[in-house]
Structure 1
Amino acid sequence: MAGAPRPKDHDYRPKSPCFGQTPFLARSVEPPIGADVEEPWSGRRGRKRLVVSVYEKIERATATLSPSPAEQVANAKRPLIIRYGKHLRGFFDRLIASSSLVSNDPVLDVRDFPWTHILRENWQAIRDEAIRAALGQNSPSLASVSPDHRAIAPVDKWRSFFLWGYGYSIDENLDRCPVTAATIAKIPHLNSAFFSILAPGTHIPAHRGVTKGLITCHLGLIVPKDGDVRMRVDDRIVRWSEGETLVFDDTYDHEVWNDTQHTRVVLLIQVRRPLRNPGKWISDAFLNVIRRSAFVQEARDNVLAWNAAVKQLDV
């Protein structure tokens, strides 16, 4: 918007309890030998063509799994809370915020979420599992599996490897990542968990989360150093560090840039916000409706269909 003030670059990197007051240092750990962390977005031309061909086959195989955007708008199966919820979101979010047991700031202190330490303690094993299991054809475009994200998720630019989604487990993906599965099983009030994979040069436009009843945590796994990869949350600029956690409220306007030549990978965790009543009642009711809605059910079905299509290619 013309004349709008430019957000200040705070270069915010939340201090982790396990590092005390020591400033974060950008740590780069080499992936396991033989791991190609750049596929399918870079690497040898022949390999890239092969991977792209595989993606195209899977995309075609799953193209009919979700209705078009126009069909979604007309889809009567979507409950009123999904179709018109954005008009009421401010009202409900204010009620939830008034009942919050933690800060309502855009970026939160990791020390208020003690469970984040288990992510930091296991980050290298989690990263290795992400490289082995989530990079390549096993991770579909978020736009392919979640129709509601098509407006902000560029095809083949933002990919996801789901482990949990709104309380539903993706068992075959969890089986491929045993350390990650065991780690996130210890997180209280877990709602969703997935590897979020951002291709080089990607910009995710400004958007907001569904409800203030959820809090988002990112665990940095692969953070490129050859440029600037960052996220704006409200008026703050934050950056990831490998092995560190970033906790924020995604109902604040936020957007992401990967202005590098390499792939960024984080483990994205969503948990239910700690609340007292009546906010807890409101949030729980809202999330239970969301969980049973087409918003979640379509995405779940599409993830399972994608996995089935990948298996067929491996036969």
Structure 2
Amino acid sequence: MAAVSKGGIVRFASKARPFPSLLCVPGLYQRPVWPTESIPWMGALRAAIPDIVAEYKAVAEAGTLQNDYSLKDGEATLHKAGSTAEPDVSDAGRWEWLSYVQQGRRNAAFAAECPRTVEALESIPDFMPSAGAMPFSYAFFSVMHPGTAIESHFGPTNARLRVHVPIIVPDGEQAKLTIAGEELPWREGEPVVFDDSFEHAARNDSPAQERVLLLFDIWHPHLSRSERESMCAMFDDARQKGWLS
């Protein structure tokens, strides 16, 4: 799919190409969407989906976990009311996170409320926080309210892949992920693995139904253990020096 010339130029056969905004690891094999059939731990994740769904519904009904998504000063807002949002949809543009991991840091309250979900995540060999705190690693229940769109953007690094596990999906393919120009309707119980350093966007065009999924990050499978550990050490050092919050 890609070739590196002597001059260091990366050429792609299609117009779609990765563009990580902060950290680019050269030489990694890249494709927008990865086949789930080739991932060894995917069967165990699929088997855990009923427990994950049950735990999300329990915390959503009880309100025991609160939205912890917030923007830093000067950070652009990606989510907004979609162009198809009905005028009377009050929550249009609302995007909520119920986080287990934010920037490599685990949330003990989430672990207490959703132990089976955490067990499923921590059993994944490539789960990104497993090798140390990484500022690019996240895991959370992502709730897009009716009439919400997330604008096209590029992820911060090609060192990770992102996984979506759809939990609640509106009827009629009204909620979709677009990655490198390809539309992928979410389907309940069918995980999607993609490289979010390619341009991507999301939307929930339903006027009445939320779209909920478990989102989490994994290491790019072609990164060696030593490469992963070196990256973690680099960011740990940056945190200790106060360069990262």
Q: Deviations over 1:25-77 (max 9, x none)?
A: xxxxxxxxxxxxxxxxxxxxxxxxxxxxxxxxxxxxxxxxxxxxxxxxxxxxx
Pairwise CA distance, 1:244: 1.2
- Following TM superposition, the consecutive aligned residue runs of length 4 or more in structure 1 with deviations greater than 6 angstroms are 293-296
Unaligned runs of 5+ in 2: 1-19, 81-90, 129-137
Give matches, 1:162-201, under 5 Å. 162-191=99-128, 192-201=138-147
Aligned partner of residue 247 in structure 1, secondary structure? strand
Equivalence for 1:112: 38
Note the aligned Cα RMSD (angstroms): 3.2
**1:235 aligned to 2:181?**
yes
Q: So what's the TM-score if we normalise by structure 2?
A: 0.71
Equivalence for 1:273: 220
Once residues 251 and 210 of structure 1 are traced to their aligned partners in structure 2, the CA distance between those partners, rounded to angstroms, is: 6
- 1:277 and 1:170, CA in 2 relative to 1: closer, same or farther beyond 3 A? closer
The structure whose Rg is larger is: 1
Q: Deviations over 1:227-286 (max 9, x none)?
A: 611011012111111111100000111111100020000000101112356993698259
Q: Deviations over 1:113-135 (max 9, x none)?
A: 22222221111211111112146
Give the partner amino acid of 2:154.
Answer: R
Aligned partner of residue 172 in structure 1, secondary structure? helix
Once residues 126 and 295 of structure 1 are traced to their aligned partners in structure 2, the CA distance between those partners, rounded to angstroms, is: 36
Bigger Cα displacement from structure 2, 146-155 vs 205-214: 146-155
Once residues 286 and 151 of structure 1 are traced to their aligned partners in structure 2, the CA distance between those partners, rounded to angstroms, is: 30
Give the partner amino acid of 1:271.
Answer: I
More helix by share: 1
Alignment partner of 1:258 out of 204, 208, 231: 204
Once residues 283 and 118 of structure 1 are traced to their aligned partners in structure 2, the CA distance between those partners, rounded to angstroms, is: 29
Percent identity reads 26
Aligned partner of residue 79 in structure 2, secondary structure? coil
Once residues 149 and 290 of structure 1 are traced to their aligned partners in structure 2, the CA distance between those partners, rounded to angstroms, is: 24
Once residues 187 and 270 of structure 1 are traced to their aligned partners in structure 2, the CA distance between those partners, rounded to angstroms, is: 11
- Maintained 8 Å contact 2:166/2:189: yes
Give matches, 1:199-238, under 5 Å. 199-226=145-172, 228-238=174-184
Once residues 171 and 76 of structure 2 are traced to their aligned partners in structure 1, the CA distance between those partners, rounded to angstroms, is: 28
- 1:148 and 1:107, CA in 2 relative to 1: closer, same or farther beyond 3 A? farther
Alignment partner of 1:247 out of 193, 205, 214: 193
Give matches, 1:65-76, under 5 Å. none
- Maintained 8 Å contact 1:134/1:195: no
Alignment partner of 1:284 out of 220, 225, 231: 231
Give the partner amino acid of 2:213.
Answer: V
Pairwise CA distance, 1:111: 2.0
Aligned partner of residue 122 in structure 1, secondary structure? helix
- 1:280 and 1:112, CA in 2 relative to 1: closer, same or farther beyond 3 A? farther
- Maintained 8 Å contact 1:197/1:266: yes
More strand by share: 2
Equivalence for 1:39: none
Give the partner amino acid of 1:140.
Answer: N
Pairwise CA distance, 1:140: 1.6
How many residue pairs get matched? 203
Once residues 125 and 238 of structure 2 are traced to their aligned partners in structure 1, the CA distance between those partners, rounded to angstroms, is: 18
Q: So what's the TM-score if we normalise by structure 1?
A: 0.56
Once residues 246 and 147 of structure 1 are traced to their aligned partners in structure 2, the CA distance between those partners, rounded to angstroms, is: 31
Aligned partner of residue 171 in structure 2, secondary structure? coil
Alignment partner of 1:130 out of 56, 60, 65: 56
